[in-house]
């Protein structure tokens, strides 16, 4: 199996986004499922329309700096090279955050690092 990043590097952005759209269609047909998308998934309106029709959109919100620190700590979290291209990160953060805020049925503060607490908060709104 390849990671999403490995697929992205291998096939390029355009093909990756087509594959991503197909995956969204496939998983959105499932019942009683939590779908955790990559940050760029919401940039495709076909993805967001499909996901929005199927369920509740939960936006896990965190500050720009918190997200930046998490990506630096674990680079597999993003396709962006935060340290070498901070402008690309700033642009992607602003664009994606605006989309997530618009789509969100529920916003949960994900600034804390306690995964169990976050899971409980998410389960509480589902």
Please report the pLDDT score of residue 105 as a whole number.
95
Q: What percent of the chain has pLDDT over 90?
A: 61
* pLDDT mean across residues, the chain: 90
Dig out the tokens for 43 from the structure.
């940039």
Could you tell me which residues come within 8 angstroms of residue 59 by beta carbon, excluding any fewer than 6 positions away?
100, 101, 103, 104, 106, 107, 108
**55 three-class SS:** coil
CA-to-CA distance for 9 and 19, rounded, in angstroms?
Answer: 13
The per-residue pLDDT for range 5-19, each reduced to its tens digit, is: 889 889 999 999 999
- Where in the chain are the domains? 1-34+44-55, 57-126
Please report the pLDDT score of residue 78 as a whole number.
77
The per-residue pLDDT for range 30-43, each reduced to its tens digit, is: 988 889 998 889 99
> Which of 111, 112, 106 minimizes the C-alpha distance to 126?
106
Largest CA distance in the chain: 41
Contact present, 77 and 35 (Cβ < 8 Å):
no
The per-residue pLDDT for range 44-73, each reduced to its tens digit, is: 999 999 999 988 999 999 999 999 899 888
């Amino acid at each position: 199996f390849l990671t999403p990043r490995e697929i992205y590097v291998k096939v390029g952005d355009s093909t990756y986004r087509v594959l991503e759209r197909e995956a969204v269609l496939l998983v959105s047909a499932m019942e009683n499922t939590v779908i955790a998308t990559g940050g760029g998934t919401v940039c495709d309106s076909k993805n967001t329309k499909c996901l929005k029709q199927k369920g509740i959109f939960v936006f896990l919100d965190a500050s720009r700096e918190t997200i930046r620190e998490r990506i630096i700590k674990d680079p597999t979290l993003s396709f962006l090279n935060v340290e070498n291209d901070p402008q690309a990160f700033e642009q992607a953060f602003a664009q994606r955050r605006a989309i997530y805020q618009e789509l969100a049925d529920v916003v949960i503060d994900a600034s804390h690092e306690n995964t169990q607490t976050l899971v409980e908060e998410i389960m509480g709104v589902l």
